[in-house]
C-alpha cells in the first residue's frame, strides 16, 4: 500500500488586507481531492496558511505527507522559525 500523500497549495489576496482565497490539491494514491475557500478581508499569508492547514486536516497522521508551496512565509515557518 502506498501511504504517501502529496499536497499542492496556494493562497492569495487582492490587497493586504483584502478579499482572498486559497486552494489545495491532495493526492492520495490514485485519489485526487480539490479543496478551497475564501475570505472577504484577509492577507496573502493567512490564505497560504489556510490552504495547508485545511489540507493537512484531511490527511491521516500515519502517512508520509509532502507539501508543495511557493510561499516563502510558509516554508520559513515550517523549516526555520
Which has more pLDDT, 1 or 8?
8
Cα torsion through 17, 9, 66, 60, rounded to 10: 90
Mean pLDDT, rounded, of the chain: 95
Q: Please report whether residue 14 resides in a domain.
A: yes
Q: The domain containing residue 47 runs over which residues?
A: 5-62
Say yes or no to pLDDT of 1 above 60.
no
- Exposure string for 32-57, b = 16+ CB within 10 A, e = fewer: eeebbeebeebbbbbbbbbbbebbbe
Q: How high is the pLDDT of residue 41? A: 98
* CATH number of the domain that residue 15 is part of: 3.30.420.10
User: Among candidates 47, 54, 52, 51, which has minimal Cα distance to 20?
Assistant: 47
Say yes or no to pLDDT of 64 above 70.
yes
Q: Please report whether residue 74 resides in a domain.
A: no
Say yes or no to pLDDT of 13 above 80.
yes
Amino acid at each position: 500500500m502506498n501511504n504517501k500523500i502529496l499536497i499542492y497549495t496556494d493562497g492569495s489576496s487582492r490587497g493586504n488586507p483584502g478579499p482572498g482565497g486559497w486552494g489545495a490539491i491532495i493526492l492520495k494514491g490514485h485519489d485526487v481531492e480539490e479543496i478551497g475557500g475564501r475570505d472577504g478581508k484577509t492577507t496573502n499569508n493567512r490564505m497560504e496558511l489556510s490552504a495547508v492547514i485545511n489540507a493537512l486536516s484531511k490527511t491521516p497522521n500515519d502517512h508520509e505527507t509532502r507539501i508543495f508551496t511557493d510561499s516563502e512565509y510558509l516554508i520559513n515557518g515550517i523549516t526555520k522559525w
